[in-house]
Every structure is written in C-alpha cells, then in structure tokens.
Amino acid sequence: MNPKIYLIPALALLMACQAPSVAGLSPEESLKTMEVEDGFQIDLFASEPDVVDPVAIAFDESGRVYVAEMREMEVLPALEPGTKATIRRLEDTDHDGKIDQAVLFAEGLSFPSGLAPFRGGVYALCTPDLLYLKDTDGDGKADIKEVVLTGFAQGNAEHRVNNLTWGLDNWIHAANGHGGGKVHRPGDDSKVVDLSGRDFRFNPWTGEFESTSRQLPGGFGLSFDDWGRKYICHNEQHCMHVVLDEYYLSRNPNLSIRSTGEKISADGRVDSQVFPISAPQQWRIDRTNMRAKTMADSFRDTQLKVNGYFTAACGVTPYTGGRFPASHAGNLFACDAAQNLVHRDLLSEKGASMVAQRAEEGTEFLRSSDQWFRPVNLEIGPDGALYVVDFYRDIIETGASIPEDILSTLDLREGSDSGRIYRIVHDSDTSPYDPVVLEGLSQKELVDKLSHPNSWVRKTAQRLIVEDGDSSFTPLLEKAVHEATSPLGRMHALWTLRGMGALSDETILTALADEHPRVREHAIKLAELSLRGSE
C-alpha cells in the first residue's frame, strides 16, 4: 500500500480519528510527551514567564541569550508596524543549564524575526526596520534604539524578512521569505535595494547593504554549514541549497535564470514525508476539505495533504556544534511547526550542490504528541548543544492563512502567554553545562578559538577580532593560516584577515596551495574579491 495519502476520501477517515481539541500543557508535562532519537536527551532551558512567543534566539560572547518574542504573530497582514512585540535577554547565572535571570531588553517592537549580536548590542529585524539595540548603562534594557535600515515589506508574519545570520564574509545575512520591500537608509533614498524575490545582506562595518541570492520559494529559516554553504526552507520544502551569489548573474542581465539555488531533498518532490505522533487538528482538516472543493480535479492529488508531509517547514539548521557523534556532524535539521516535530537529514555532496537524505525511516529526530508544541527555529549554542525554539501555541498559522468561515471559530491568541526553549545533547556528553565564553579572552586565545569544533565559537571569535580591529592580531592570524591544524581554523583566519582589511596577496597565495580543497576553494573566493577590489 502506498503510504502517501493524497486523495480526498482519506479526509473522512482522518476526521473520524480526530481527537477533540486539547488544552495546553505545562512545560514539564509537554516535555514528557516528547520522543527524541535514542542516545539523545532533551531538557527544558527556558519557559514562560521568562520567555513568551519566541521565534528566534541569539547568544552573545558572554553566553547571554537574546530572544525575539513575536507577540503579534497571529494578526492579519498589517500595513503598519506593530507595537506589542518584545526582545528578552536571558542568563543562566549558576551554569546549571537552565535560565534563572530574564530581563525585558526592548519593547514596543514590530514583529521581531531575527537577531545578531554586535559590539555589545544586537541587530534586530523588526519590519519595516532593521534596528540596532544596546544597553549602555548596565540595567539590562536597551537605551539605544537606532533605525539602521527601513523599507522591509510587512504583511503576513510568516513571510517577512527573518533569521539574521553572520556569514563567513563578515556580513549579516537574512532570508526574505515572500516579503520583498524597497530597503534604504532612513531619510536617504540615494540607494534603494529592491528585495523582490531576493535575500539580503548587510555590512555592519561599512553600512553597505544589498540583495543576494534570487529566491527559491523562501520561508522562515536561513543558516550556513561549516564551510559557508547556505540553506533556506519553505513551508513544503524543508531544505534548499543556495548555490550561486546573485553577483555572478548580475554581470549578465540578459541571462535568464529564475533561481540561484535548488531543492535538495532526496525525495525529488515538492514535499517530503514526515512521521508525527500528534493528531492533526480538526480545523486544518476542515480547511483542506474547503480547498478541495475549490480546486480543479487535476490539482487535488498533488496539492492536498492533511498530515504526514512537510507543510510548515522552518528553522533549517546544519548541526555544526562539535558535540554530537560523528554520525550526526553536519546533519541538516528542520522543524515542522504544524506537525510538532524536528526532522533530520544526512547531507552529502552532489556536484556543485548537495543532497539531503532522510536519516531514519518511519520516525523523526524529535516529535511530540502535544499539539501545542511548535518548534519554529533551531540554534547552535556556545556549549555545542542544539537549541529548539518552541513558540507553543494552539494555532501556529496567522489569520491570513485561515478561511474566514473557520477563522471565526478559532482563538488565535490561545497560548500567547507561553513559550519554551529546549536544549538537546547526546547521552555520551557527560560534561556539565559549560558554554564557551569569549568575552575578555586574550588575542592569542581568540585566534585559537577560530579552530574550535563549535561553529558558534569560531564565528563569534571571528566577529570579536574584526570588531576589535587591532593590527596586532594580523601576525597571529597569518600564522594561523600557515600553521593551524584545523582546516576550518585556517579558513576562518583568512576571512578574519579579510574583515580587518589585512589580507595580503602573499597570504592568499599560501592558502591557494593549502592541502585541504575547501580551504583552497575559499582562497579562490578571496582572491576574486581582492582582484575586483570590493565585496
């Protein structure tokens, strides 16, 4: 029997088996409903009231956690900025792996969807603006609130620009979803970047900003693997690899290419099967039934799926934390918020791109029978753990995604006072919770951290060195290019020198002869940048 159920008659069976609507659970009760892959354990890191409606998190160099709290996620598409969202700053002061201090860092915000630490503060995507927020008086609350860029499109919260992420190139990147926008500096229209169908990056050192890859269908999620390969996702597409930068296509405007990336699921379909243990919500079945009545017969078999396939993929993230077993190193993880699970794929190279193959048949890396468990994002922490951001709501969709007849029967705010963050580690990892703290390290210690097995440590060390900008880092970095035993360390040293404006032609030539092919690949990229004289 083919397990892929597409046909409308299956709706009747699903409705008959549908459990009635259930209430939310306490964090401890919800944790008991979770099944995590054998050999791993999941623990509660933070929960309400310390965190509410979380959609993205970011760790700074001292181990503090900034949390974007999208308190207005359920509203219909808005043409005006929101005012109810917040950013929280969390700390684990006794290092027991649980948050014990929470401060309201910023409030009165509009749909925060991405965070990136920088120079003691944090960049925050709050459409229509990119903000810079910083606490300068030590009370834990931002007293600097600067609009850096504006013009990002608003509308459906699910489709706005999101997931600020530091790249190897020393720029901050963001996925654009379907949002678009015409981005410019406040009060300055001399440069306007049209983001229609494109992702985005911003250089905090120079203030430059530009569109990047031409989007596949974009959604909520963006990440890079150890070697800087970029991944995005979309509701029905949990893994897409962005292969080319837009720059290479912009040189020939007459070349017609619709996308700079490709869908890499080994299924080779628009969607991939998943195996939830939660019952589908009745209203979602009803919505599918309504859609069936309005769609042509020829589209029904391929378009209508009630459960068992990705429908709300988000938070795509390669595991680069250096603490999981070798079997899981570099694996690609993705959430399905609607079906209460986190999926795992094995990644392998295929020509210039990648292919993602389901890691285990018939099950998922993490799944819950709690219908309110809404994993929307993943993050690698300074301890190498995989953190799961749980929005925790009865309904994850915005009002724009629900027909009016059904919408009138639902309470989209149910659960809006809740939110959880979970921490996943491997059973063999018996060391106590010990996040790497980079604040206050010496120059040599920071350069050494460029070779750390945890990508968060490497990228944060790179950022801190470039932030410092001290030329006395240069000989240490050049030595790392020559002598670091880790090829990742040699690569990061190259990009750090580039960020400081201290990368010499001689150092590039050294890297072009490196024994590791990926280091040579990045040396070629850096040689190109040097030759054309710009980013």
Q: Confidence class of residue 429 from pLDDT cuts 50, 70 and 90?
A: confident
**pLDDT at residue 2 is higher than 80:** no
**pLDDT at residue 303 is higher than 70:** no
The whole-model pTM stands at 0.92
May I ask the CATH architecture of the domain 443-532?
Answer: Alpha Horseshoe (1.25)
Mean pLDDT of the chain: 88
Q: Do residues 458 and 451 lie in contact, with contact meaning Cβ atoms separated by under 8 Å?
A: yes
Cα distance between residue 255 and residue 250, in whole Å: 9
**pLDDT at residue 261 is higher than 90:** no
532: region left, alpha or beta (phi > 0 left; psi from -120 to 50 alpha): alpha
- Where does the chain hold its CATH 1.25.10 domain(s)? 443-532
Structure confidence by residue, pLDDT tens digits, 367-410: 999 999 999 999 999 999 999 999 999 988 776 777 777 777 77
Q: Which two tokens stand for residue 154?
A: 């608003």
CA 510 vs CA 251, 290, 400, 499, 529: distances in Å: 29, 63, 54, 18, 16
353-373 average pLDDT score:
96
pLDDT of residue 3: 39
252-266 average pLDDT score:
83
Cα distance between residue 112 and residue 145, in whole Å: 14
Pairing of the two strands 129-134 and 121-126: antiparallel
Helix, coil or strand: residue 333: strand
Q: Confidence class of residue 7 from pLDDT cuts 50, 70 and 90?
A: very low
Cα distance between residue 344 and residue 367, in whole Å: 11
Instruction: Please tell me which residue, 303 or 513, carries the higher pLDDT value.
Output: 513
**pLDDT at residue 91 is higher than 50:** yes
158-162, 278-282, 309-313: the lowest-pLDDT one: 278-282
Pairing of the two strands 162-166 and 144-152: unpaired
Structure confidence by residue, pLDDT tens digits, 304-319: 455 688 989 999 999 9
Q: Confidence class of residue 484 from pLDDT cuts 50, 70 and 90?
A: very high
Helix, coil or strand: residue 264: coil
**pLDDT at residue 509 is higher than 90:** yes
Q: Confidence class of residue 254 from pLDDT cuts 50, 70 and 90?
A: confident
Q: Do residues 175 and 166 lie in contact, with contact meaning Cβ atoms separated by under 8 Å?
A: no
**pLDDT at residue 295 is higher than 80:** no
Q: Do residues 229 and 241 lie in contact, with contact meaning Cβ atoms separated by under 8 Å?
A: yes
7-11, 30-34, 241-245: the lowest-pLDDT one: 7-11
140-154, 210-224, 345-359: the lowest-pLDDT one: 210-224
pLDDT of residue 8: 31
**pLDDT at residue 216 is higher than 50:** yes
Q: Confidence class of residue 224 from pLDDT cuts 50, 70 and 90?
A: very high
Q: Confidence class of residue 302 from pLDDT cuts 50, 70 and 90?
A: very low
- Where does the chain hold its CATH 2.120.10.30 domain(s)? 23-426
CATH class of 23-426: mainly beta
> Which helix or strand (DSSP H or E) is residue 345 part of?
strand 341-350
CA 329 vs CA 5, 131, 379, 436: distances in Å: 33, 34, 15, 19
